Amino acid sequence: MFINKKLFTTALLGLLVTLSIIALILSLVRVEDVTLPPTVQYGMVFDAGSSHTSLFVYEWDSDKQNNTGVVSQTFSCDVQGPGITSYANDPSKAGDSLRECLEEALKVVPAAKQRDVSVYFGATAGMRLLREQNSSAADQVLAEVAKTIQEYPVAFCGAQIITGEEEGAYGWITINYLLESFTKYSPKAHMWVHPEADDSFGALDLGGASTQISFVPKGSFINWNETSRFTLYGYNYNIYTHSYTCYGQNEMWKRLAKELIVAFSAFYYNFKFLNLTEGQSLATVRETIEHFCARTWEDLSSNYPEENPERLPKYCANANYILTLLLDAYKFDEVSWNNIFFQIKVGSTSVGWTLGYMLNLTNMIPAEAPVWVKGHTPSLWAAAVAFITLALALGLVALLVLLWT
Ligand SMILES: *[C@@H]1O[C@H](CO)[C@@H](O)[C@H](O)[C@H]1NC(C)=O
Ligand SMILES: *[C@@H]1O[C@H](CO)[C@@H](O)[C@H](O)[C@H]1NC(C)=O
Ligand SMILES: *[C@@H]1O[C@H](CO)[C@@H](O)[C@H](O)[C@H]1NC(C)=O
Ligand SMILES: *[C@@H]1O[C@H](CO)[C@@H](O)[C@H](O)[C@H]1NC(C)=O
């Protein structure tokens, strides 16, 4: 009995050691260092224009490219009602008008990330005009907006009136980012790279109460005071912007008809209505507009029964206004006309200043360091766990045998 017990426990211990060695070897071979996929970061930007307010949600991977995020738009929401300037007499309503969109947007962001979401509120020409007329009214509207956003669990970055120059420069960034002037995904190299050609597009923006032109100036006649400097994806850009306040469409209508429209206005919408966004030549554009303007009211209203009868007669004047602005103010001609592209969206992303703002802001939002972990082949890992379990079980049996026999 005594010999049997000694023999038995020795065999058991031998087996135990063997199993442990196998488990150890299994857990050491074919182990590799791997990085976990980057986490997603989120940001929100309100665009408070003269006729309406929109909210955009952007996301980017926490591992940035040369310090700038590769940003994409995940969600957008149009705030119900008119622009925030119309709440000047009842500022608290300006804040309340944002709630619905803000709540919708927060549903897009995982709960654990909401506290880290940068939320920025930028107001453009409508508020610039209100501030000129009555700066305390403009301040009150912004204060109410800030108060409302701060009620939500997000990282609020401020509510401001941005200058026309900022609006133009951020719009330029948006356009050029979407047209891949800064960075481009190379499927061959599986990474983001700087495009070889160092070309960029100029940007023209017709808003409700202002219009902006932005481009990278060439040549030496540059007043550097009038340019804004940005670093994007490791490269520096000097952007020249000129902003013409009161040259937006609403202001034109106020001047022409002494009435306020809350019509949604942009180069794009007017030209889209006339089917002129497909790169038609200047001659075709002129002809189309002339032809449209010559039609009778009966003809128009029967041909466009869906169109708002208030807006229908304005397409003629708007289109002529845009043409005049492009040809006389911006000096486009037959040849350079062909380089104009009318766009409201590139892919599913809206063209405006907000994306450019977000892109520049990602430079300041700290990147999360990539997480390194030890990675194991699943089958080897399962085998190692099985051997460890077996060794533990045998160890317990050996212990019981030693203690109780
Ligand atoms: C400016 O706005 C405030 C708040 O809406 C109002 O009380 C004040 O009368 C306005 N001032 C002028 C000069 O219109
Ligand atoms: C980052 O900068 C390097 C040169 O400094 C460039 O080769 C690379 O393409 C840049 N990456 C991106 C995404 O632009
Ligand atoms: C640029 O601005 C500085 C100070 O703001 C001024 O001294 C300088 O004369 C300006 N330069 C030009 C070319 O306007
Ligand atoms: C762009 O972001 C940088 C921070 O990275 C900031 O210092 C700069 O003021 C921003 N540029 C503009 C024009 O807002």
| pLDDT tens profile 5-38 | 778 778 888 888 898 898 888 888 888 888 888 8
The active-site residue, picked from 144, 167, 259, 290, is 167
pTM of the predicted model as reported, rounded to 2 decimal places: 0.75
Distances (CA, A) of 259 to 38, 84, 252, 263, 310: 52, 18, 10, 11, 12
What pairing do the DSSP bridges indicate for beta strands 227-232 and 235-245? antiparallel
201-210, 247-256, 259-268, 357-366: the lowest-pLDDT one: 259-268
pLDDT of residue 158: 93
Report the percent of the chain where pLDDT is more than 70.
89
Ligand 3 atom closest to the Cα of residue 225 is 1
How far apart are alpha carbons 346 and 179 in whole angstroms?
8
> Is residue 167 flagged as an active site residue?
yes
- Lowest-confidence range among 9-23, 117-131, 259-273, 322-336? 259-273
| Residue (of 177, 251, 262, 247) closest to 213 by Cα position | 247
Mutational test site, ligand 4, from 71, 174, 363, 365, max ligand atoms within 8 Å of CB = 363
pLDDT band at 246 (very low <50, low <70, confident <90, very high): low
Nearest Cα neighbor of 68 from 297, 272, 227, 236 is 236
Please indicate whether residue 63, judged by its CB atom, sits closer than 6 Å to ligand 2.
no
By mean pLDDT, which of 165-174, 285-294, 329-338 is the weakest? 329-338
What are the two backbone dihedrals, phi and then psi, of residue 186, each rounded to the nearest 5 degrees? -100, 110
Rounded CA-CA distance 109/248 in Å is 35
Residue carrying the six token digits 């108060």: 147
* pLDDT tens for each residue of 309-367: 877 878 888 888 888 877 877 777 777 777 777 766 666 667 789 999 999 999 888 77
What is the reported pLDDT for 341? 73
**CB 190 within 8 Å of CB 168:** no
What distance in Å separates the CA atoms of residue 273 and residue 315, rounded to the nearest whole number? 8
**The predicted structure's pLDDT at residue 371:** 77
| Residue 154 main-chain phi, psi, to 5 deg | -135, 170
- What is the distance in A from the centroid of ligand 2 to the CA of 189? 13
DSSP string covering 108-153: HS-GGGGGG-EEEEEE-HHHHHHHHH-HHHHHHHHHHHHHHHHTSS
Which ligand minimizes its atom distance to the CA of 224? 3
Q: Which of 84, 93, 136, 142 best tests ligand 1's pocket when mutated (most atoms within 8 Å of CB)?
A: 136
Burial of 133 (0-12, 13-18, 19+ CB in 10 A): exposed
Distance 209 CA to ligand 4 centre (A): 25
